[in-house]
Amino acid sequence: MTMARMSNRHAAILDSLGGHGKVASVLGLKEDTVKKWALRGIPARHWHRVMALKPSLTADYLARTKPVGVQAKKGRP
């Protein structure tokens, strides 16, 4: 695991679930979408789906570990 992955807990979570491809497949999303999550953090609207894949995760943990300085796209909350 790279140093960037260690400091980005959301990327580490995705890695622990089998990587971008596996998570994308299980959730029915494009792999590029999940790759972006590794950089920007898992969007809150998908937290419940990711928590279902890894029951030890909590919304509180995901909120506390969201990468700092991440901004939503224009027009999105």
Average pLDDT of the chain to the nearest whole number: 85
- Is the per-residue pLDDT at 74 higher than 90? no
Asked if the model's pLDDT at residue 2 lies above 50, the reply is no
Domain count, the chain: 1
Domain-embedded: residue 77: no
Which structural domain range is residue 44 located in? 3-64
Helix axes 31-40, 9-16, angle to 10 degrees: 140
Question: Is residue 69, in this structure, part of any structural domain at all?
Answer: no
Structure tokens at 43: 């969007």
Asked if the structure places residue 73 within a domain, the reply is no
pTM across the whole model: 0.77
In a domain, 71, yes or no: no
Domain contains 52: yes
Residues 38 and 20: beta-carbon distance below 8 Å: yes
